[in-house]
Structure 1
Amino acid sequence: MGPRSLRRTAALGALVLGAALTLGACGGETGGGKDTAKSGNTGAASGVKLVTPGKIKTCTSLPYPPFQFDQGGKVVGFDVDLIDLAAKKLGVTQEIVDVKFDVIKSGAALNSGTCDVAAAGMTITEERKANLDFTDPYFDEVLGLLVKKGSGVKTLDEAKAKNLKIGVQTGTTSLDLAKKKGFEPVEFDDAGKQILAYQSGQVDVVLQDLPVVNDWLKKPDIAAKFELQETIVSGNQYGFAVKKGGNPELLKTINDSLKAAIADGSWAKMHKQWIGSDPQSTPAPK
């Protein structure tokens, strides 16, 4: 790390060079050098505040396939591609920051300046709205119950009647539903730990968002031992989030990019690519 003055000089030089290149190009990207200089964020549209100039930092909780997961050393997924649309609109790049989900849903990650946006397959709930400003919904939530093959368990109620031990991810709507059904769930910090615990026999069944369960079942060693039984349409929806009351311009930018993606078919193509099927519904605010 160099002295603070050197960093300022380097940043100023980058801004000047960026402005010169923009003026020299025909039909450049939106935003431009003048707006960037006013906002203090390289490449960002005027008025959009970013933690780090030239980047939109995205907090997520890895792994959570197919929404965000590591593939060959790079984090990819449905959420990643959708936030990339907003990044492109701002003329910046996306940087993934891996944190625990509880730190995301509480608003702590955004309030501390760890990131600009939270994108973690996160369900919009009234409780979370108290801590976060959510975008328009981009995905309708369905939960899936994964059971051992041959167990005869087909529903959550049957699992409860047999007094089975259920594994869920901490801080999720799966946890809320399991508690509502009368379980005392075993909690795991992330989806990766959850499925590993299931494979090692720490729990009898697991409840998780359906796209995650389906992604697990793509692996032969998991599909050989476990099967999807009950699917639960919760009526909830996923949303991205920004700091509560702290970034309305970024919120609008993400909403605009989502609306455009749904309108031009990009969202449906991403759904097919990452979720593995054509969408049965198009998310819309309720």
Structure 2
Amino acid sequence: MTRSARTAALVGALLVVGLGATACSGTAGASGDGAKDGKVQKIVVATGASPKPYTYLDDSDKLTGYDIEILRAVDKKVADLSFDFQVAEFPALFAGLDSGRFNIVANNLSANEERKKKYDFTDPYLEAQFGVVVKQDSGVSKVDSLQDLAGKKVYGEPGLNFTKILESYNEQHPDKKINIEYTELDLQSQYNNLAAGLVDFEFNERVVFDGYGKKPELKLTFVPIDGQYLTKDFGTNLQSAFAVSRQTPNREHVEKEINTALQELAKDGTLKKLSEQFFGADYSVPKQ
């Protein structure tokens, strides 16, 4: 069986098992007032297992990544919570939060204003650097604003923060639009197609570029964009956090426990260590 086939099979199996267990037990985490009566409350954590290195399946088909290992470290610190990790397609993550099937989504989510209307978010654990990825011979060495990319073609995935920024730009500049080609291609295929000239650029984070586009044979380069500009003009939140379903039992207690553990992991250097392990640099927040 090929690597991709094994991964697809595992994702399907995990999803079926997860949904089956949920169907039998009702709302995820509904084991009762775990924080109040001494019982351990199960917290169902959903992830799309992409993008790498935030969340992914390794060569042994084990779920790992920066987001995942942070929650495993939190799990060790919090006695009355137990994390059950499940894999689902990205669109299903939000549907699961809406229904209460999933208590938490761990998928490098930006806590933007639209999402905060529907979900709670933990304290942030990472601050990203956004930018564009272009071919090394493209002649693009600096991007002062998205207007510099007007008329160029880029892949967009519905629902992603990156795509929402581009859509917002197009709404603000109808006469200088960026050509968004919506796709369900995986990230590696997107970067391969960029190298082949099928699109003009990718709009992403530096660490995602490092995970998919930094391969020497692709001859791609990352050009950063000022984060303050993106925040001011498009309301972008460059910090990532875990999304929490408002249907989670003992929600306030769960969030307090996780946030306290995150603060401890920042203080003892665990977040920095994990960031350097997965990204090669310290992008963790809060920094001590």
**TM, length-normalised to structure 2:** 0.71
**Matches of 2:84 and 2:264, distance apart in 1:** 19
Match of 1:173 among 157, 161, 172: 161
What is the aligned partner in structure 1 of residue 72 from structure 2? 84
After TM superposition, list the pairs within 5 Å mapping 1:55-66 onto structure 2. Answer: 55-66=42-53
The question of 1:221 aligning with 2:217 is answered: yes
Cα deviation for residue 93 of structure 1 reads 4.5
- For 2:149, the aligned partner's letter is A
The reply on whether 1:278 has 2:282 as its aligned counterpart is yes
Alpha-carbon separation, structure 1, partners of 2:224 and 2:83:
39
Give 2:147's aligned amino acid: D
- Checking the alignment, whether the CA contact within 8 Å between 2:66 and 2:275 is kept in structure 1 is yes
Match of 2:180 in 1: 185
Which protein, 1 or 2, shows the higher relative CO under an 8 Å CA cutoff with sep ≥ 6?
2
CA contact (8 A) 2:47 2:87 kept: yes
User: How far apart in 2 are the matches of 1:62 and 1:146?
Assistant: 22
Question: Are residue 209 (structure 1) and residue 205 (structure 2) matched?
Answer: yes
- Runs of 5+ unmatched residues, structure 2: 1-20, 171-176, 232-236
Q: Secondary structure at the match of 2:178?
A: coil
Tell me, yes or no, if the aligned pair for 1:167 and 1:198 is still in contact at 8 Å. no
Per the normalisation by structure 1, the TM-score is 0.71
Query: Residue by residue, what CA displacement relative to the aligned partner does 1:100-155 show, whole Å, maximum 9, x if unpaired?
Result: 2x443xx4212334322111100011110011111111111321210012111232
Note if contact 1:66-1:212 (Cα within 8 Å) is conserved in structure 2.
yes
> Cα deviation per residue 1:11-51 (whole Å; 9 max; x = unaligned)?
9xxxxxxxxxxxxxxxxxxxxxxxxxxx837xx95259x9x
Aligned length: 235
Paired position in structure 1 for 2:241: 239
* 1:46 maps to which of 18, 32, 35: 35
Superposed displacement of residue 159, structure 1: 2.7
Counterpart CA distance in 1 for 2:165 and 2:83 is 37
Asked if 1:266 corresponds to 2:270, the answer is yes
**Code of the aligned partner of 2:187:** A
| Identity score, percent | 26
CA offset digits 1:35-86 (Å, max 9, x no partner): xxxx837xx95259x9xx8753222223211110111211111100111123
| CA separation of 1:165 and 1:118: change in aligned 2, threshold 3 A | same
Alpha carbons 2:132, 2:204 under 8 Å: kept:
yes
Q: Answer with 227-236 or 128-137: which moved more.
A: 227-236
Report if aligned partners of 2:149, 2:178 keep a CA contact under 8 Å in 1. Answer: no
Residues 221, 259 of structure 1: alpha-carbon distance in 2 compared, 3 angstrom cutoff? same
Separation of aligned partners in 1, 2:247 and 2:100: 14
Contact 1:210 1:231 in 2 (8 A): no
Structure with max Cα Rg: 1
- Please provide the CA RMSD for this pair: 3.0
**Alignment partner of 1:124 is 2:124:** no
Q: Does 1:148 align with 2:151?
A: no
What code does the residue aligned with 1:82 have?
Answer: I
- Residue 282 of structure 1 and its aligned partner are, at CA, apart by 3.2
What is the rounded CA distance, in whole Å, between the counterparts of 2:44 and 2:56 in structure 1?
A: 16
